[in-house]
Structure 1
C-alpha cells in the first residue's frame, strides 16, 4: 500500500525546514522509526524518524530544498515489506525511546541505536565518478578502502552540517573518511586528520566565529575572472536571529551600563579549582562563576528576571532563572538556556554550560532548549573584545556581556599592581528596569567576581 509522509510540525511553530541530507534512497527498505533524513529549522538540526515500515518509492525534495510543513517529503510502499523488515519494525516499536530523545509532533522518535536503512548495491562507476581522483592517487591505501566501500555499498557517511562544510572547504570526500568514535559519526577531528594525511588542499580558510559567507568587494586582478560578490539566502538561524534582534531593538528601550572590575580573586579561585584533580574534568571557568553571580544577583533584583507582557498588560516576574547562554555556531548565534539555573552549584553550572556549547556547535540543540529563557549571558571576551552593547533576547529583561580578562596595571590596596581586569556590560529593558535597579544589579555581580567569597553571604 502506498503511503506518503508529510513534513510534520517539529514542535516549534515554524512553517518550513531545509532538507540537510537524506539517509535513505529510493528502493531502500526502511524499518519503523528509523532515521530517514536530517532537516534544519531556524533553531536546530532535527533527525526525522520514519512513521512507516516499507520500501522507499520516491523522494520529493533534494538536499538544500526548503520544504513547507505539510508538504509530501517521502513516499513508501508498505505492502512490499519483507518479513525481516517487519520483525525489525516490531522490535524497534517495542523499545521505548529514551526520555532525552527529541519527539516530533504526531509520533515518537527512534532511539539512536535503531538499525540503519538497508541499501541496494550501487554501481561502482557512479560512485567513483563523484570521487576526487587526485585524493585517491595521493593516498593509495585510502583508494583500497574506497574500493571496499563501493564493494560493500554502504550508506552515505553520517556527519553534522559544520563538519560537511569543513570537508568541502578542505577538499575532502567524506566517503573516504573513517569515523573514529563509537557513534559512527564523522567528526571535525576525523576530517582534519584525513586532510593532513593525504595532503588535501584547503579551498577556503575556516573562520571559527563566522556563521555565513561574507559579501566581499575586491578589485579584479589582472588575468583573473570571477564574481566580485557572494550572495547567500537569508534563512535558518540567521533570518530568525535578525528578526528577533530587530523586534527587540525597536520594541524594548535598551539601556546599557558598563563596569570594569578587578577579577584577580576569581582568576585565582578558578586556577585552584582546575588544579584539584577531583574537579579537572568539569572545566570551571569565568563563564560559570559569572553565571553563579548572575543567579545570586537576580534573587536580589527580580526586576532583571521579568518580562513585559504587552498583550496582557502585565509585568511577569519569574521566581526561577532559565539562564540563556549565547553560543556562536557555524549556523549563527543560538541562545539555549539552562533550566532552573538558580538551583545549580558552580560545578553543575560549568557542566551545563559546556554541554550547551557542545550541543549548539554540533547543531543538535533541541528547539525546547531555546525557549523560555529569563536572562542571558554572552561572553564576547573569548573573541578578544573588551566590551559591547548586547541586544536583549526577546521576552527577557536583560543580558550581561563579559569582556576579555586582561592583565594590566590597577590600583590595589593603595598601590599600583598588575591585576586581572574585565569589563561587564549590562543591557536592560527600561520599561522594566530603571537605571538604579540596573546599576545595583551590575554592582552585585561585579562584587562577587571581585571577591567570590561574598557569595557565601548572599541568599
Structure 2
C-alpha cells in the first residue's frame, strides 16, 4: 500500500533556524530519486539546493515559493511505495480528533494524535511541542473533501478550536509565523481555505488592506518597504554584533603600487598566466598572507567564553563580495599555501560562484582574516567592520593615476589607499601598524617578498 513520508526542512548549516523557499524543481505527481535536487532555498548565508532523501512520487508540496519555513517543519510529502495496491487511509478511518489519545500516540487507523487542524499524516516526522502552545482539546471529527484520484494522502479539515484562552484561529505554522512577522492578528481574519483555514494569501491581503480605506491611496507615494530577511538580515546582525563587541581601530596607508602594476603586466604575458585572470586583488591577497606570517596576531581569534586568544597556523582568507542577495564573504581555504597563480584562479572561481548566488554556507564559515575590495566600485577607502570571529579586515581601494614624488620629482604614478580595521583586544597598535606597513611594502615593491 502507499507509504507517505514527509521531508522536514533540514539544518543545512550550523545554527540555521529558518529558510525561504526559492524554487521548487518538482511538482505533485513527479517521480523522484534519492539525491535528486528537488528545491532551492535561501538561508541567512546563501542559496542552497536540497536533494531528495527517498525514491518515490511527490504527492504534496507543503511550502510555497517565497514562504519562510522553520527548520524541522515538513516541506514535501513523498509516496515511497507508489506501486502499492491498498488505498491510503482516509480521514473517516482516522479522525482528526485528539479526544481519544495523547499527542504523539498512535490512533486507530495508524494516524498519530496531534493538534487538530494541521497534524502529520501516518509515517510523518514528529515535531517537538512548542512551549507556549495551548493544551490540546477535544474536537468533533472534521468534514472531509472527496478523495482525489491521484495516490495522495487526503487532507484533514478541522473546525476552529475553543480553548480556555479563547478562540484559536486555524492556520499552519508557517502562516502563523508570517502573520507574527507582519504584525497581523489572526483572530481578525476569516480563512479562505478549506474549513476556514487561514492561508498565506489571507495574511498578505490583510497587510495590503488592513482596514477599509477611507480614501484612495496616494498614487504618488515615493516609499516602499521590503522585509528584512535572508542574507541581508544575517549580515546586519553580524555587523551589529561585531561593531558593539570588538573595539575597532582603523589605520590608513597610501601606497605607490606602480611596480606591482608593472609586474602584473609582465606576468599576464607569461605562459603560466595566459589563461588566468590576474587582478590587483590577487596581489593584495598574496601580500596579506605573507604579511600575516610576520604578524600572526591579525590572523588570531578572541575567544570570549574561554578567555583565550586562538592563534591559527593557517589562513582562510575571506573576500567580501557584493551579490544580488547581499554581501557575502566566501573563503579561500589555506590561502597561505597558494602561489600567486593559484590565488588568482581561486579568487576568480570564488567571485563567479558568489555572483551566481551559488556560494554554500560551508564556504562562508571559518574565516581568519578578510579583504574587502572597495576599489572595484571606484572607492578610495573606508572603515570596514571586522567579520565576527576574526581580528582584522583590509579595505583595498581604487588604483588611480596620481602625482607622486619620486627622487625629488613629481611624476604620475599608480596609487591606492589601504585601510586596516583590527580588534584592539587582540592586535595592539604596533602590531596593526606593522602588518599594514608590510602589506604596503609588498605592493609597492613585490621583490620585498623575497625577504619574507
Q: Structure 1 length as normaliser, TM-score?
A: 0.68
Counterpart Cα distance in 1 of 2:383 and 2:365: 23
Residue 265 (structure 1) aligns with: 259
Residue 384 (structure 1) aligns with: 378
Counterpart Cα distance in 1 of 2:306 and 2:317: 24
> What root-mean-square deviation, in Å, do the aligned CA atoms of Structure 1 and Structure 2 show?
1.5
Contact 1:307 1:432 in 2 (8 A): yes
Residue 195 (structure 1) aligns with: none
Residue 224 (structure 2) aligns with: 230
1:432 aligns with 2:426: yes
After TM superposition, give the deviation of residue 11 of structure 1 in Å.
Answer: 2.8
Residue 7 (structure 2) aligns with: 5
Counterpart Cα distance in 2 of 1:454 and 1:328: 32
2:389 to 377, 395, 409: 395
Q: Number of residue pairs matched? A: 318
- Where is the helix percentage greater, Structure 1 or Structure 2? 1
After TM superposition, give the deviation of residue 457 of structure 1 in Å.
Answer: 1.1
Residue 19 (structure 1) aligns with: 21
1:55 aligns with 2:49: no
Q: Which runs of 4+ in 1 moved over 3 A?
A: none
Counterpart Cα distance in 1 of 2:438 and 2:13: 38
SS at match of 2:322: strand
After TM superposition, give the deviation of residue 439 of structure 1 in Å.
Answer: 0.7
Query: Rg larger in 1 or in 2?
Result: 2
Residue 315 (structure 1) aligns with: 309
Q: Deviations over 1:299-338 (max 9, x none)?
A: 0001111111010011111111111111110111111111
Counterpart Cα distance in 1 of 2:433 and 2:83: 67
Counterpart Cα distance in 2 of 1:246 and 1:280: 43
After TM superposition, give the deviation of residue 12 of structure 1 in Å.
Answer: 2.8
After TM superposition, give the deviation of residue 274 of structure 1 in Å.
Answer: 1.4
After TM superposition, give the deviation of residue 57 of structure 1 in Å.
Answer: 1.0
After TM superposition, give the deviation of residue 228 of structure 1 in Å.
Answer: 2.1
Residue 340 (structure 2) aligns with: 346
Q: Structure 2 length as normaliser, TM-score?
A: 0.69
After TM superposition, give the deviation of residue 278 of structure 1 in Å.
Answer: 3.7
Residue 32 (structure 1) aligns with: 34
SS at match of 2:60: strand
Contact 1:55 1:81 in 2 (8 A): no
Counterpart Cα distance in 1 of 2:14 and 2:67: 19
SS at match of 2:63: coil
The 5 A counterparts of 1:52-201 are: 52-81=54-83
Query: Which shifted more, 28-37 or 286-295?
Result: 28-37
Residue 447 (structure 1) aligns with: 441
1:252 to 227, 246, 265: 246
After TM superposition, give the deviation of residue 225 of structure 1 in Å.
Answer: 2.4
Change (3 A) 1:273 1:28: same
Residue 414 (structure 1) aligns with: 408
Structure 2 residues without counterparts, runs of 5 or longer: 85-217
Counterpart Cα distance in 1 of 2:225 and 2:335: 40
Structure 1 residues without counterparts, runs of 5 or longer: 83-223
After TM superposition, give the deviation of residue 226 of structure 1 in Å.
Answer: 4.7
1:42 to 13, 35, 44: 44
Residue 185 (structure 1) aligns with: none
1:373 to 367, 385, 388: 367
1:285 aligns with 2:287: no
Counterpart Cα distance in 2 of 1:76 and 1:58: 7
Change (3 A) 1:414 1:22: same
After TM superposition, give the deviation of residue 423 of structure 1 in Å.
Answer: 0.4
Residue 108 (structure 1) aligns with: none
Counterpart Cα distance in 1 of 2:289 and 2:81: 57
Counterpart Cα distance in 2 of 1:413 and 1:354: 37
SS at match of 2:275: helix
Contact 1:305 1:375 in 2 (8 A): yes
Contact 1:380 1:387 in 2 (8 A): yes
Contact 1:54 1:81 in 2 (8 A): no
Contact 1:29 1:81 in 2 (8 A): no
Counterpart Cα distance in 1 of 2:338 and 2:51: 34
Counterpart Cα distance in 1 of 2:257 and 2:26: 53
After TM superposition, give the deviation of residue 81 of structure 1 in Å.
Answer: 4.9
Contact 1:336 1:371 in 2 (8 A): yes
The 5 A counterparts of 1:318-337 are: 318-337=312-331
Counterpart Cα distance in 2 of 1:335 and 1:37: 24
Residue 176 (structure 2) aligns with: none
Counterpart Cα distance in 2 of 1:226 and 1:364: 38
Contact 1:410 1:416 in 2 (8 A): yes
Counterpart Cα distance in 2 of 1:314 and 1:422: 36
Counterpart Cα distance in 2 of 1:436 and 1:79: 68
Q: Deviations over 1:63-114 (max 9, x none)?
A: 00001111110011222159xxxxxxxxxxxxxxxxxxxxxxxxxxxxxxxx
